[in-house]
Amino acid sequence: ALGASLPLLQRDYRFERVWFWGCIQGLRGAYYIAEGLGPNLAAPRSRLYSLNCLDWSLLTPATKEILALAEQLNGRFQGDPSFEYNLAEINAEAAARLTEGGKEPVITEEARLIATIEQIDRAVGVIPRGAFVKTPLGSVHENRHFEGLSLLEAKKLSSYFHFTEPVNLKNKTLLEKADLDPSIDFLDSLEHDIPRGSWSIQLEKGGTVVVLRSLLWLGLTFYHVPMTKQFGYVYFGTGEKNLDLPFML
Amino acid sequence: EHGPYQPHEPGCGLDQPAYSPYEDQIPDPQARMLAIKNAKAYLLKTSTVSGLNLYDHFANILTKILDEQPTNTVDIIEDISKDVKCAQFRKKMDTLRDEHLILPIFEAAEKCKALFVKEGGEEEHEELDEEMPSLPNVMETAFYFEQAGIGLNKDESYYILLSLKNLMNVQPIQTCRFWGKILGLEMNYIIAEVQLLEGEGEGGEEETGEEEETVAEEEMGEGEEEGEEKEKEAEPPKSTYKPPPEIPKEENGTGTNKNTYFVCNEPGKPWVKLPPVTPAQIVCARKIKKFFTGRLDAPIVSFPPFPGNEANYLRAQIARISAGTHVSPAGFYQFANEDDEEEEGDAYEENPEFEPPPVAEMVESLATWAHHVKGILKQGRCVWINPYQKSEEHEEEEDEEEEDKEEGEEHQEERRLPLLTLISEDEGMKNIPAWTAQASTNLIPQYSVAILQSNRWPGAYAFASGRKFDNIYFGWGHKYSPENHTPALPLPVQAEYPSGPGITETVDPTVEEEMAFKIAQEEALAAEEEEGEEEDLEDD
């Protein structure tokens, strides 16, 4: 069903690329998420969700308030997008603010879904170094010249980048910056993620595939076949952050 | 607006190099050729750093571009230039690099190839007897799980099947099953659940347990003796800590140790047998939450300290997961004896009269599924045992009082639900039910498969379709907890001295009290001397 509905999405929304982002498992059903992009890869992405891989609904982009509120929600997703979480139990202040504003103090599951996907993408969306290129005008394009990482590079965490706005880039020393190539190295690498060791790198099938698994968001898997252009990441999980990570390492 | 400049107008020729407005006075081909030669010589000048020259470089770039004709060339021209430069240097390093790269891929391929090689060519025809233990049909279960969207790559499933076959050839195995895969940081574990032929267990671990007990009690005895001798001096603080008695582990073949487990990191690598699990390990495993690294001998650093290394922790988690999530359609298994339902009987057998309920019913109600593995008590075993029965011989007088207190607390017998309980009685956490059931597809109901996902142990799945069913686990090996994991707090600091009148502070006596005391003492002494004199007189 995915194979049939994703190209249709691409046609309807005029995306340049559409891919299957992953699946968040709720208690009574699962949400299948797809992402679509226009020509500029750094622009905010449009996300769609579906309960049966056939009918897709567009999700509104995440706002800061929703992100802040959703971080306080714990527990599994229910599987029903109109399910409402009662804010009053969780955070009385936010509930009070909402009621003053004239809205009900609830968060729908859909909003929580939006916030979670945004968080996951921001925290653990990964691309290999060199796959995307930044033009002098500021827009990001796919690098047609990218031929894949070599085996040596593929084993190192520093050859993978977060695919979001860089946070640490300016904090590097001048020496490090001299080695960087500004058209390729415009994103944060995974090397300095806190806590250390929150990524698990494995080579499978004798080195033909590199698999990176995130331990912070359990269920995010990134794969790359070295020396080829194939890479991608997908999330299959419950949509909850693993806050016990420091205890588990 | 303005048409092309005519040669006689002043603006003409400004856009052409080497054609200044005054050039028409010197259309000297010699000078132009000279200029061209100079330019070419400049382009041909070899760089001191890399030994290249710009002219050749441009020629190479243009050749490459015209050969390959990539799209959007102007956007990637710098990369092409870099690549051409790099290509100059690769000649020396080529052979070295090739050899280096080939190694890891070829090693793995060799191992996988070894799986395909049949062992013992001549004896194969005899192995078709019925005595040969049944190889689990991994591919079939993989197919069913694939309907649900769970499972491994087909290649990997096939490799696992072959390595299970190898395992069966090596070890004396009665039944064997692919239990699942646990992910780790550096490497993953593939786990096979196996029942060995009878008489193959190991009993070496119980002895060490008893040794530890006696050693601890000897230390206690010594401490007391020292205390008595040194009463007048400062006493060394006596340890009032009495380690809780060791709970003996269950025998191989019963309870938590009913099955033996073999693990390997990848199909093709040799299988390693996991040691049987002790109750202490299970109790501790409940309190900690650690990732597996993939190496069986890795130490587990945690609090409370885990008794064992990663192999033991893995075994304990496997035991917990099996006890919590191995289910079968209700009625598939029945008790061997009717009496066993009341007691904690272990034996169950297949029910020949079992009629599988339709898939829709299996999805709707959880009462059609039942556990077929015993739950683990708080003690860490499946069958409760009173640990204090043995230790009566070692009691000493002073310890009796303390012991009685402890016995009172733990004496309650722990009971779990009997063996074949329906899973509808599994409690959920907060408002999350313990299991989620769904059918594999709604579009084709006659061939769909009922799938159960466990919410308590994320990653545990079970499927049922007619008479076929199986359980499997793919995950990190941890239980789901809606609250965050809080590690156990360290024990309260032990008091050095029990508080008593000997060490409690009191106000020093004042001078008057001291004088009064002294006078009283002297009077008492005087009284005694008088009595003594009288006695002496009498003796004389």
B480-524 pLDDT tens trace: 776 666 666 777 776 666 666 666 677 777 888 888 888 888 888
B453 in a domain, yes or no? no
Select from A141, A150, A249 the Cβ nearest to the Cβ of B291.
A249
Query: Are the Cβ atoms of B432 and A76 closer than 8 angstroms?
Result: yes
Confidence of residue A81 (pLDDT cuts 50, 70, 90): confident
B295 in a domain, yes or no? no
Residues in chain A closer than 8 A to B72 (CB atoms): 144
Select from B71, B188, B484 the Cβ nearest to the Cβ of A244.
B484
Query: Are the Cβ atoms of A248 and B71 closer than 8 angstroms?
Result: no
Average pLDDT over residues B269-295: 83
Select from A75, A207, A243 the Cβ nearest to the Cβ of B430.
A75
B34 in a domain, yes or no? yes
Q: How far is CA B64 from CA A196, B77, B246, in A?
A: 44, 11, 77
| Residue, of B17 and A124, whose pLDDT is higher | A124
Residue A24 has pLDDT above 80, yes or no: yes
Name the closest residue on chain A to residue B364, using Cα atoms: A28
Q: Is the dihedral of CA B481, B483, B488, B492 positive or negative?
A: negative
Angle between helices B77-116 and B54-68 (to 10 degrees): 60
B318-331 pLDDT tens trace: 888 888 888 877 77
If you search the block for the tokens 């707090």, which residue do you land on?
B489
Query: Are the Cβ atoms of B289 and A151 closer than 8 angstroms?
Result: no
B77-111 pLDDT tens trace: 888 888 887 777 655 554 555 555 555 666 666 76
Helix (H/G/I), strand (E/B), else coil: B487: coil
**Contact status of A218 with chain B (Cβ, < 8 Å):** yes
| Residue, of A97 and B338, whose pLDDT is higher | A97
B178-197 pLDDT tens trace: 888 888 888 888 888 888 77
If one counts the domains in chain B, the total is 1
B125 in a domain, yes or no? no
Residue B390 has pLDDT above 50, yes or no: no
Residue B223 has pLDDT above 50, yes or no: no
The pLDDT assigned to B222 comes to: 39
Q: What is the model's pTM? A: 0.67
B37 in a domain, yes or no? yes
B152-168 pLDDT tens trace: 777 778 878 888 888 87
Confidence of residue A220 (pLDDT cuts 50, 70, 90): confident
Q: What is the mean pLDDT of chain B?
A: 68
Is the ipTM above a cut-off of 0.90? no
B228-250 pLDDT tens trace: 444 445 666 555 556 666 666 66
β-bridge partners, B333: B350
B255 in a domain, yes or no? no
Instruction: Output DSSP code: residue A214.
Output: E
The pLDDT assigned to B133 comes to: 53
**Contact status of A42 with chain B (Cβ, < 8 Å):** no
Residues in chain B closer than 8 A to A151 (CB atoms): 101, 104
Q: How far is CA B137 from CA B94, B207, B333, in A?
A: 46, 40, 20
Residues in chain B closer than 8 A to A218 (CB atoms): 476
Q: Which of B490, B434, B472, B481 is nearest to B286 (CA)?
A: B481
CA dihedral B342, B348, B354, B356 (to 10 degrees): 100
Give the percent of chain B with pLDDT over 70.
Answer: 49
**Contact status of B482 with chain A (Cβ, < 8 Å):** yes
Residues in chain A closer than 8 A to B80 (CB atoms): 145
Residue A176 has pLDDT above 80, yes or no: no
Residue A116 has pLDDT above 70, yes or no: yes
Greatest mean pLDDT among A180-184, B343-347, B405-409 lies in A180-184
Name the closest residue on chain A to residue B433, using Cα atoms: A27
**Contact status of A209 with chain B (Cβ, < 8 Å):** no
* Contact assessment for residue B22 and residue B14, using Cβ atoms and an 8 Å cutoff: no
| Domain assignment of residue B48, given as a range | 29-86
The pLDDT assigned to A206 comes to: 59
CA distance B137 to chain A (A): 23
B58 in a domain, yes or no? yes
Residue B442 has pLDDT above 70, yes or no: no
Size of interface A-B (CB pairs under 8 A): 69
* Interacting residues of B441 by C-beta distance below 8 A, sequence separation 6+: B147, B447, B448
**Contact status of A136 with chain B (Cβ, < 8 Å):** no
Cis peptide leading into residue B357 (ω within 30°): no
Confidence of residue B389 (pLDDT cuts 50, 70, 90): low
Residue A63 has pLDDT above 50, yes or no: yes
- Distance between CA atoms of B123 and B118, rounded to whole angstroms? 11
B252 in a domain, yes or no? no
Select from A27, A208, A249 the Cβ nearest to the Cβ of B105.
A208
